[in-house]
C-alpha cells in the first residue's frame, strides 16, 4: 500500500501499513504538505461517527415541524430508511410540486470527482423531477454575482481574476495585499498536489518586491525584510483606496490613456472621489477618520502604489461584508487609474492566497464529474439566503435586478455540508429550520446539521472509498484508494442514492448500469480526451498519480486581461460597453441604495465607526481556521489540541483584554443582541485594538437545545454574525460585519 496515494481537500498523502494501522505522510513532491490532514484517519472509528440509519423520534410520531435539534433518534435498517426517504420525495412532489424540495447541499464533503455528495443527490433528485437549488458560494458569493457587471461573465469564477504567480515573482515591484492568511492556501476544492503559494511569494520577496499587508492583524504579514503591515479598521478598505484615487487625481498621476481605452464611467467616479458629486472629498485625512490609520501611514501607502508595476490583491474575506462589492470594484478602478491593467505582474487580483489554486501558472486539468442531468425546476436562491427561503414561504427576494419567488419548502435534502457551520445567525437559522416537514441528511459524523435532521443516512469518509481527485486549477491527478473498510453501516452517497432511486423506480437510469469502478474509468477517460498524454486508466490506477507538465515551472504563465488591454476592440469584455465598467448603467437601473453604481464608501450597519459600536465595541472577524478545513476535523487532531479552556480560541488585542480583566487561557463570553458563545482567550500584541478574531468551524453546541437563543459552548462565531447580506445585488454573506462585546466568564461549563 505504501506506493499508493490518497488525496483530500488538504493535499496528497502516501499511505503506509503499520502494526498500529494505516498512517499518512505528505507526498515528497509537495513543498508544504498540510499537517492537519494527517489527522484525518483519527475519524475512522471516532465516537462522533454515525453508525447506522437514524430517524428522529418526534418525526416518526408525526411531529414534523418542531424539536429538531432537541430530540432523540431511533435506529432503523437501510431498507426502512430508503423507503422513508423515497416515500417523502414522492409524497411532497405529488402534493406540493418538486419546487418544494430544497437540495442546496452546499459544502466540501469530498475532494473526489465521483463521490461528490452534491452531484450524487442532485442527479438522483433531477431524475425524480427536480428541486429548488442554490447558486454561488459563501466563500465568493458576493463577487461571483457582482463582477460580471464590471468585467463580464468570464470573470465571475474564483480562479479567473489574478495574474499567475510566476509573473508576480518576476515583474511585480509592489504587492498590496488586503488580507493575507497563507494558511488558507493549504486547501482547494478537489484536492492539491503541490502547495506552492508560499514558494512563489518568497521568490518575489527575495527578488526585491515590496509587500504591504493591509489587515487588522500584524501577524498576517510574513517575516521578511520587504514585508510591512498597515492596520486599518475592518470593512474600511474601500475608504483607503478612495483616498489613493483622490491623491492620484490631485497630483496628476492618473493614466488617462488607459482609462479612455479600457474603461467607461471614470468621470462619474472622479466626481465622487473629489467631492464634486456629494461635497465630501475622499482625501487621506478623510480616510484616516474612517480607517483609524495615521494620515502619515496612509501617505506612505499611497506612495507605494506609484511603483512601476503594482498589484492590488484582495482576499475573499473582504467581499464577505456589508457592501462587499465595493472594495473589489475600487481595486479595479485604482489599478486602471495607475495604468496597470494587462501588465505582467500588475493590476488587481482577487484571492491570491485564499486557496492554493488562484494564480497557479498551470494548465488546469479541469474537473469532469458525475453528470447531474437537467433540473426541471427553475427556482433557486443565492446560497446565503437559506434562512429567508425557509422562513418566508411564498415570499420574494430581491437579487441582481430580479425578484425571486421563494417556494414553500416542505423538504430539505442535504448531503456533503454543514449549514450550521456555514450560515450566519444560527439562532435565526434554527427557527427557520423547523419549518419544513422533513429534513434528510447524509453525514459521516454527528454535526449540528445531523442533529437537526429527521432522517440521518450514515455516509462514508473519503478514506473509505476509491475515487479520482484533482482540482480544476491543479495539474496533479490522483487515484485516491480506500484505506480501510467503511465504518459500521456507513455507505457511500452513490450507493445511498441508488437505493432511493430503486425505491422510486429509476435505479438503472441513476447508475447508468455502471458500478463504481466503471464510473471511475469513465470519468478518467474524460480527462484523457482533453490531455492525451495521460496514461491509460489501468496504468494510472496502478501508479496512483500523474502530474501534467511535471518538468515545467510555469507552463501557463499569464497576465490578467492582457489580450483585452492589448487590443480592446478585438478582445472586448462581455459587458454592455465591452470595457471595464467603473460606472454601471445596469446597476444604476437596479436602484439599490446598498450597491451604488460606481465604487463608493458605504458605511456598514455594524463597524467600529458607527453608532452600534457604543454598545458592542469590538469588531468580530471569523476567518478560516489554520488547523482544519471549515468544520471538518474539529473533533480530532490539531483542532482539539489547539483548544483553549476546552473551547475555540479567540484572539483579543492585549489592550482590550486588559481593559476587561481577561487573561491568557480565561473562558470568555462573546455576545451581542443575536446570541452569545464561550471561547478560550489568547492575547495578541499584533492585533489592532477593537478587533477580535474567532475562526469558524467549532461544532455548534448549544447549552440548552430547546431554548430559542441558547448560550453556545464551543465557540461558534455564527451565533454572533448577522444574517444580513452584502447587498440586494449579490445577496452574499456579510459575516465579517459584526460587532460584539467580551466579558470574562466565571462559570466554566465544559462543552
Q: Which residues contact 513 (CB under 8 A, 6 or more apart)?
A: none
CA gap 414, 106 in Å, rounded: 8
- Residue 535 has phi, psi (to 5 degrees) of -65, 165
Q: H or E segment at 456? A: strand 455-458
Asked if 548 and 527 count as a contact pair (C-beta separation under 8 A), the reply is: no
Told to judge if 155 belongs to the known catalytic residues of this protein, a careful annotator would answer no
Q: H or E segment at 174? A: strand 174-178
CA-closest candidate to residue 681, choices 656, 699, 698: 656
Strands 691-693 and 649-653: antiparallel
Number of Cβ atoms within 10 Å of the Cβ of 11: 29
Name the burial class of residue 594, with classes exposed (0-12), middle (13-18) and buried (19+) by CB atoms within 10 angstroms of its CB.
middle
Residue 518 to residues 114, 462, 538: CA-CA distances in angstroms?
11, 18, 12
CA gap 469, 482 in Å, rounded: 13
Identified catalytic residue from 40, 108, 328, 433: 108
Told to judge if 537 belongs to the known catalytic residues of this protein, a careful annotator would answer no
- DSSP states of 495-520: HHHHHHHHHHT-HHHHHTT--HHHHH
Asked if 274 and 302 count as a contact pair (C-beta separation under 8 A), the reply is: no
Using DSSP's 3-state secondary structure scheme, residue 542 falls into helix
Residue 226 to residues 181, 203, 308, 521: CA-CA distances in angstroms?
17, 12, 17, 49
Q: How many CA atoms lie within 13 A of 401 on its CB side?
A: 11
- DSSP states of 383-402: GGGHHHHHHSTT-EEEETTE
CA-closest candidate to residue 418, choices 433, 431, 404, 407: 433
Asked if 171 and 187 count as a contact pair (C-beta separation under 8 A), the reply is: no
Identified catalytic residue from 59, 106, 286, 700: 106
CA gap 548, 404 in Å, rounded: 43
Torsion of CA 347, 349, 352, 354, to 10 degrees: 160
Dig out the grid coordinates for 171 from the structure: 515583474
**Which residues are the active-site residues?**
106, 108
Amino acid at each position: 500500500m505504501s506506493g499508493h496515494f490518497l488525496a483530500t481537500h488538504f493535499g496528497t498523502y502516501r499511505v503506509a501499513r503499520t502494526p498500529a494501522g494505516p498512517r499518512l505522510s505528505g507526498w515528497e513532491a509537495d513543498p508544504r504538505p498540510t499537517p492537519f490532514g494527517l489527522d484525518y484517519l483519527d475519524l475512522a472509528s471516532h465516537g462522533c461517527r454515525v453508525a447506522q440509519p437514524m430517524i428522529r423520534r418526534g418525526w416518526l410520531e408525526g411531529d414534523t415541524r418542531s424539536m429538531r435539534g432537541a430530540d432523540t433518534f431511533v435506529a432503523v435498517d437501510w431498507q426502512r430508511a430508503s423507503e422513508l426517504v423515497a416515500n417523502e420525495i414522492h409524497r411532497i412532489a405529488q402534493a406540493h410540486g418538486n419546487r418544494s424540495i430544497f437540495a442546496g447541499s452546499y459544502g466540501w464533503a469530498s475532494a473526489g470527482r465521483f463521490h461528490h455528495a452534491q452531484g450524487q443527490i442532485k442527479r438522483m433528485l433531477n431524475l425524480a423531477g427536480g428541486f429548488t437549488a442554490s447558486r454561488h458560494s459563501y466563500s465568493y458569493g458576493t463577487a461571483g454575482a457582482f463582477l460580471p457587471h464590471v468585467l463580464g461573465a468570464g470573470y465571475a469564477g474564483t480562479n479567473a481574476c489574478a495574474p499567475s504567480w510566476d509573473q508576480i515573482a518576476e515583474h511585480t515591484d509592489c504587492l498590496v495585499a488586503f488580507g493575507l492568511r497563507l494558511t488558507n492556501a493549504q486547501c482547494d476544492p478537489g484536492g492539491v498536489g503541490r502547495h506552492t503559494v508560499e514558494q512563489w511569494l518568497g521568490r518575489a520577496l527575495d527578488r526585491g518586491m515590496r509587500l504591504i499587508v493591509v489587515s487588522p492583524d500584524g501577524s498576517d504579514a510574513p517575516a521578511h525584510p520587504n514585508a510591512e503591515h498597515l492596520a486599518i479598521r475592518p470593512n474600511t478598505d474601500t475608504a483607503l483606496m478612495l483616498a489613493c484615487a483622490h491623491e492620484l487625481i490631485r497630483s496628476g498621476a492618473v493614466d488617462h490613456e488607459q482609462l479612455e481605452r479600457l474603461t467607461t464611467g471614470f468621470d462619474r467616479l472622479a466626481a465622487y472621489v473629489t467631492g464634486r458629486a456629494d461635497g465630501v472629498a475622499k482625501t487621506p485625512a478623510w480616510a484616516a477618520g474612517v480607517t483609524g490609520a495615521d494620515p502619515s501611514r496612509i501617505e506612505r501607502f499611497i506612495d507605494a502604489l506609484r511603483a512601476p508595476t503594482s498589484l492590488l490583491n484582495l482576499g475573499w474575506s473582504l467581499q464577505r461584508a456589508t457592501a462587499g462589492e465595493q472594495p473589489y470594484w475600487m481595486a479595479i478602478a485604482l489599478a486602471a487609474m495607475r495604468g496597470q491593467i494587462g501588465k505582467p505582474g500588475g493590476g488587481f487580483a482577487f484571492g491570491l492566497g485564499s486557496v492554493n489554486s488562484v494564480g497557479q501558472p498551470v494548465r488546469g486539468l479541469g474537473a469532469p464529474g458525475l453528470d447531474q442531468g437537467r433540473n426541471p425546476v427553475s427556482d433557486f436562491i443565492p446560497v446565503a439566503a437559506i434562512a429567508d427561503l425557509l422562513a418566508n414561504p411564498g415570499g420574494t427576494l430581491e437579487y441582481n435586478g430580479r425578484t425571486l419567488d421563494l417556494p414553500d419548502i416542505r423538504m430539505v435534502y442535504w448531503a456533503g455540508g454543514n449549514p450550521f457551520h456555514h450560515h450566519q445567525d444560527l439562532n435565526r437559522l434554527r427557527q427557520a429550520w423547523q419549518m419544513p416537514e422533513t429534513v434528510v441528511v447524509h453525514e459521516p459524523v454527528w454535526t449540528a446539521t445531523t442533529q437537526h435532521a429527521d432522517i440521518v443516512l450514515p455516509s462514508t469518509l473519503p478514506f473509505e472509498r476509491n475515487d479520482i481527485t484533482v482540482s480544476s486549477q491543479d495539474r496533479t491527478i490522483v487515484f485516491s484508494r480506500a484505506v480501510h473498510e467503511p465504518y459500521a453501516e456507513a455507505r457511500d452517497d452513490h450507493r445511498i442514492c441508488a437505493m432511493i432511486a430503486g425505491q422510486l423506480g429509476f435505479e438503472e437510469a441513476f447508475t447508468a448500469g455502471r458500478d463504481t469502478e466503471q464510473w471511475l474509468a469513465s470519468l478518467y477517460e474524460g480527462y484523457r480526451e482533453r490531455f492525451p498524454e495521460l496514461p491509460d486508466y489501468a496504468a494510472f490506477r496502478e501508479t496512483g498519480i500523474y502530474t501534467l507538465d511535471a518538468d515545467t515551472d510555469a507552463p501557463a504563465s499569464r497576465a490578467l486581461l492582457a489580450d483585452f488591454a492589448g487590443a480592446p476592440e478585438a478582445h472586448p469584455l462581455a459587458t454592455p460597453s465591452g470595457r471595464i465598467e467603473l460606472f454601471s448603467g445596469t446597476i444604476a437601473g437596479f436602484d439599490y441604495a446598498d450597491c451604488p453604481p460606481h465604487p463608493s464608501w458605504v458605511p456598514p450597519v455594524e463597524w467600529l465607526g458607527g453608532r452600534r459600536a457604543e454598545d458592542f465595541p469590538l469588531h468580530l472577524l471569523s476567518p478560516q481556521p489554520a488547523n482544519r478545513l471549515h468544520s471538518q476535523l474539529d473533533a480530532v487532531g490539531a483542532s482539539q489540541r489547539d483548544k483553549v479552556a476546552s473551547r475555540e480560541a479567540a484572539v483579543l488585542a492585549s489592550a482590550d483584554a486588559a481593559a476587561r480583566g481577561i487573561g491568557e487561557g480565561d473562558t470568555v463570553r462573546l455576545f451581542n443582541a443575536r446570541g452569545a458563545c464561550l471561547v478560550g482567550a489568547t492575547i495578541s500584541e499584533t492585533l489592532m485594538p477593537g478587533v477580535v478574531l474567532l475562526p469558524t468551524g467549532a461544532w455548534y453546541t448549544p447549552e440548552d437545545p430547546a431554548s430559542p437563543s441558547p448560550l453556545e459552548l464551543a465557540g461558534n462565531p455564527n451565533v454572533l454574525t448577522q444574517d444580513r447580506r452584502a447587498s440586494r445585488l449579490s445577496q452574499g454573506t456579510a459575516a465579517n460585519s459584526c460587532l460584539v462585546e467580551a466579558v470574562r466568564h466565571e462559570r466554566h461549563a465544559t462543552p
